[in-house]
Structure 1
Amino acid sequence: MRFRDGLTISAAVTWLPETTESAYAQVADGLLDPDGPASAGVVEVPVSHDTSAPDMAVLAGRDALSRAGVEAADVGLLLHSWIYHQGHDFWSPAHYVADGVGATAAVPFGVQQMCHAGAMALHTAAVQLTADPSLSTALVTTADRFASAGFDRWRGDYQVAYGDGATAAVLGRSGPGLRLVAHTVHAAPEMESMYRGDDGFSPAPLTHSRPIDIRRTKRAFLEAGGMDRFAKTGPEAVRDVLLRALEEAGLAPEDPRIRCVALPRLGPKVLELMYLPVIRELVRAKPVHFGAHTGHLGCGDIVANLADIVREDLLAPGEFALVLTGGGGFTWSCLVVQQPGDR
C-alpha cells in the first residue's frame, strides 16, 4: 500500500533494561555451544528482572510521545503487540499501556501476528490515519520479557537469541520525522505449523513444554518436509514484498537514494537463507543489521530498526530506507520510509 503524502513517524524509540546477559559468558558457563554467539549473531541481550513487558511498553510510549512533542491525550488510537506472556492470562495489555501513558481518549487494541505483529500494527495505524480524517495521532507499542520461568532465550530456538525490551512509534499526518511512503505484505499461512509442529491443541498455556521448546515444533515441521517448502517460499515472499514496495514507492531498484535495507534481528544463517540473496540481487543499497546487542526483540524489531536509522542519522534529506521483517504464520513485509528534504 502506498500511503498519502504527509504521513509521518514523528518518533520511534527503543526502551531496553540496563541488565544484559553476555553470549560469551553463556559459553564460558557451559550453557551455550561455542558457536552459539555467532549462530545467533549476538554479543549480548538485554534482560529485565523486575520490569514487566507492559510496563516497558509504557516507558517506551511515554518517551516516544515526549520526543514527538505530542500530548498523550491527543492520541486517538493505540496498538500494542507482543509474542509472549504479558504477565496475566486473561487480560488486555493494550488497555493497560494506554492507561499507563495517559492516552485516555485512545481506542486501544492488541495486534498478535507473531514476530510480524509490530509491522502489522504500523500498517494498521497508517491505514486508520489515511481512512479516518478525525484521527490525528496513533501510538504503536511492542514489548516482550522472555523470563526463564517459561522461555529459554538462548536455547529455546535455533539461530536466534531473544532480548527483552519495548519499542514505540508515534504516527501522525504532518510534522517532522520519517515519511511513511509504502508498506507491502505477503502471507503464507500454509507455513503455520512451523510453530505448532505435530502437537495437539492443549487446554492451558505451557502444557506441551516448560520452558517453551520451539526447536521441537521446528523438528516436526522439518520431518514433515516443511523446511524444504519454507526455503522456497520465504525468499519468494521477500522478493515479492521488496519489488512491490519499490513499485508503490515509485523507486527503481538501482535508485541511489535508497540508502539501506534494515534486516530483522535474527542469526546470519536465517538472514542468508531468506533475505540477503534477494537484497543482493535486486538493490544496490547496503543491508544493515542492528541486533548484536539486543538480539531478536520479537515483534519489536521493525520499530527498533526505525529508531536506530534515526539515531545513527543514516538518511540524508531525500534518502530512503527499506525495512524488512517477517514472522511465524508466516507473514513478511517491506516498509519504505524517507527522510524529508529535497529530492
Structure 2
Amino acid sequence: MRWDNLYIAGVGTYLPDQVETVDEAIAAGRYTEQKKAMNDYRAARVAAPGETGPVMAAIAGREAVARSGLSHDEFAILVHSYVGHQGLDLWTPASFVQQQTIGGSAPAFEVRQGCNAFLGGMELAASYLHAQPDTHAALVTGGDAFQLPFIDRWNSHEQNVDSDGGGAVVLSTRSGFARIRSMFSYGDPSLEPLGRCRAEFSTAPFPDGKTLQLDRSMQDYMHNKDIDLDEIVERISGGVQYSVKRALHEAEIELGDVRFFLHQQLAETIAVHGLYNLLGVDRAKTTYDWGKDIGMVGTVDVILGLDHVLAERQPKPGDFVLVQCAGGGYVWTAAVIEILETPHWARS
C-alpha cells in the first residue's frame, strides 16, 4: 500500500549487556566449528534474570516515545510482537508493555507472525490509524528472550542463532524524521507445513520438557518423497521477490534508488543466496556484517538495523531505506522508508 502521510517519529532499542561469543558456545559444547563456518555469526546477547521479552520491549518503547516528543495521550494503539515465551503463560504482554510505556486507554494488541511480526504489526497499526482519522500515533514494540531449557539459542536452530533484546517505533500520521512511502505484505499458507509437518498437537506448552529442535519438522517435511523441494524453494524465493517488487512499485522507486537495505540477521548462506544474489542487492548497503555480533533478535532485527543506520551511517534527507522480513507460515513484508531529516538524537 502507498502511504502519503505515515511517518516514523521515534525509534528505540534495547540489548542486554551480557555477550556470549560463538567461541564460548563451542567450548561449552553448544555450537560447532562446522556451524560457525557455515553461518558466520560471531556473538549473541543474553538477557539477565528478569529481562523478559516484554520488559525489554518496554525499555525500547520508552526510548522511542521519548525520542518522538509525543505525549502519552496522543497514542491511539499499541501493537506488541514476539516469537517466543514472554515470561508467563496465559497473560497479556501487550497490555504490560502499554502499562510500562504510554499507559492510557488505547487498545493493545499482540501480533505473532514469526520473525515478520514487527513489520506486520507496523502495517496493522498504520491501517488502524488511517481507518480512524481522529487518531494519529501508534507504538509498535517487539521483544524476546530465548532461555534454556525451552530454547537453546545455539542449538535449537541448525542455522539461526537466537539473541535477546527489544525494539520499538512510534508511527505518526502528522510528522516524523522519516516517511514510510509504502508497505506490502504477502502470504503463502501452502508453506505452513514446513513448521508443523507430522507433529502431534499437545495439550500444554513445553509438554515433555525437552529443548526445542525447531528444524526437525522442516527436515521431516522435506524428506517426504511426495514433496517437490524445488517448488518449495521457488515459493519462498518468490515471496521475497514479490513483496520487494510491490513495495518498490508502490513507492515509485527502483531498487537502485535504495541506499540502505535492512533485513533479518540470517545465517550467511541464507543472506547471500536468499537475498543478495536473489535480489541483486549490494551487501555494503546492509547492516548485516555489523549484526553478526548480535545474532537474530526475534522480530526486531530491522529496527536494530535502522537505529544503527541513524546513529552510525550518516543517512541524508532523500535517502531511501528498503526493509524486508519473512515469517514462517509463510508471510513476507517489505517497506520503503524515506529519510526526511537526521533525528535530533542521532546528530553529532
TM range, normalised to the smaller chain?
A: over 0.9
The two structures have a TM-score, normalised by structure 1, of 0.93
The Cα offsets for residues 41-83 of structure 1, whole Å up to 9 and x where unpaired, read as: 3211110121111111111111111111122232210000111
- Counterparts of 1:176 and 1:329 in 2: how far apart (Å)? 33
Are the counterparts in 2 of residues 23 and 36 from structure 1 also a CA contact under 8 Å? no
Which SS does the other structure have where 2:299 is aligned?
helix
1:294 matched to 2:329: no
How far does the alpha carbon of each residue in 1:185-212 deviate from its partner, in whole angstroms, 9 at most, with x for none? 1111111112212111111111266211
Equivalent in the alignment of 1:234: 236
What CA RMSD, in Å, does the superposition of the two structures yield over aligned residues?
1.9
How big is each residue's C-alpha offset from its partner over 1:78-108, in whole Å with a ceiling of 9 and x where there is no partner? 0001111111111111011111114213210
Q: The residue matched to 1:295 in structure 2 has which SS?
A: coil
Cα deviation for residue 312 of structure 1 reads 2.2
Q: Distance in 2 between matches of 1:189 and 1:314?
A: 39
Taking every aligned residue pair, what percent have the same amino acid on both sides?
28
Q: CA deviation at 1:284?
A: 10
Instruction: Say which SS state the counterpart of residue 14 (structure 1) adopts.
Output: strand
Note closer, same or farther for the CA distance 1:20–1:280 as it changes in structure 2 (3 Å cut). same
What is the CA deviation profile of residues 95-152 of structure 1, one whole-angstrom value per residue up to 9, with x for unaligned ones?
1111111421321010111111111001111112222112121000001110112101
Alignment correspondent of 2:345: none
Q: For residues 152-171 of structure 1, what are the structure 2 equivalents within 5 Å?
A: 152-171=152-171
Q: Report the AA paired with residue 221 of structure 1.
A: Y
How many Å separate the matches in 1 of 2:71 and 2:313? 26
| CA–CA separation in structure 1 for the residues paired with 2:56 and 2:45 | 12
Change (3 A) 1:32 1:186: same
* Distance apart, 1:24 and its partner CA: 1.2
Aligned residue for 1:141? 141
Task: Please tell me whether the aligned partners of residues 318 and 338 of structure 1 are also in contact (alpha carbons under 8 angstroms).
Answer: yes
Q: 5 Å matches for 1:319-338?
A: 319-338=319-338
CA distance in 2 between partners of 1:339 and 1:31 (Å): 41
Over 4 Å off, 4+ runs: none
2:260–2:321 contact (8 Å) kept in structure 1? yes
SS of structure 1 residue aligned to 2:266: coil
Unaligned runs of 5+ in 2: 342-348
SS at match of 1:182: strand
**Alignment pair present for 1:280 and 2:280:** yes
> What is the letter of the counterpart of residue 230 of structure 1?
I
Cα pair 2:12 2:62 within 8 Å, conserved: no
Aligned length: 337
Label 1:220 to 1:284 Cα distance change in 2 as closer, same or farther (>3 A).
closer
Is residue 304 from structure 1 mapped to residue 310 from structure 2 by the alignment? no
Distance 2:93 2:185 in 1: 26
Q: What residue identity is the alignment partner of 2:34?
A: D
SS in 1 for 2:280: helix
C-alpha distance after superposition, 1:260-288 (max 9, x if no partner): 2112111011223321222217x898344
After TM superposition, the structure 1 stretch with the greater mean CA deviation from structure 2, 216-225 or 117-126, is: 216-225
Q: Is 1:9 the counterpart of 2:8 in the alignment?
A: yes
Separation (CA, whole Å) in 1 of partners of 2:228 and 2:326: 17
Q: Residue 45 of structure 1 aligns with which residue?
A: 44
Task: Structure 1: give runs of 5+ residues left out of the alignment.
Answer: none
Change (3 A) 1:36 1:106: same
**Code of the aligned partner of 1:31:** R
Please name the residue that 1:252 is paired with.
Answer: 254
Measure the CA separation in 1 of the matches of 2:304 and 2:163: 12
Is 2:174 the counterpart of 1:174? yes
